[in-house]
Homo-oligomer: A and B are copies of this chain.
Amino acid sequence: MRRHVFIFGLVGGLLIATLQYTEYRFVVIEHTVELYSALVAILFATFGIWLGLRITRRRETVRETVVVREVLVPAEAAALEPFAANTARQQTLGITARELEILTLVARGFSNREIATQLFVSENTVKTHCARAFDKLGAARRTQAVQRGKELGLLP
């Protein structure tokens, strides 16, 4: 997190420095301020959105488990069994929340690239998670992993 703030400040400083530099050196057109403002606005808005997503993303997995519990309690006894074995099995197999998250997306028929886009991570990362999940499930293919996951009650 400290790093983000640092980069944020750095980029800001650099941008301002650039602005100052170009102002004295290059084209000083009329109405340049608005142009710069717009540019800076767009740039930082984009960066801000990215930062916002990045910050909040981490909490999702935690919140997800909370949500599941909140949902399951009203659903009562019927829903309690399948998900109890769920996390238990997940624990014993050492499958992390992230891996399971990706596994569910695999089960829904998404490609690695699509999953990567959805989760705002690299395709390589998705592959890594997949590989680890497959290994823990003893699966050689994603279809096999999905099948195993359903058998074990890890996937709906």
Q: Name the interface size band of chain A.
A: 35 or more
Which residue of chain B is the closest to A46 with respect to CB atoms?
B48
- Please tell me if the beta carbons of A109 and B147 are within 8 angstroms of each other in the complex: yes
Please measure, in the bound complex, the distance between the C-alpha atom of A41 and the C-alpha atom of B5, giving whole angstroms: 13
Q: Is A107 an interface residue (CB 8 A)?
A: yes
14 A-B pairs with CB atoms under 8 Å apart are A12-B41, A33-B33, A33-B36, A36-B36, A37-B40, A40-B41, A44-B45, A49-B49, A49-B52, A52-B55, A60-B63, A64-B67, A71-B75, A143-B143
Q: How far is the CB of A137 from chain B (nearest CB, A)?
A: 10
Q: Is A93 an interface residue (CB 8 A)?
A: no
Q: Which residues of the partner chain B approach A68 to less than 8 Å between Cβ atoms?
A: 67, 71, 75
Contact residues of A between 65 and 117, Cβ < 8 Å to B: 67-68, 70-72, 74-75, 78-79, 82-83, 106-111
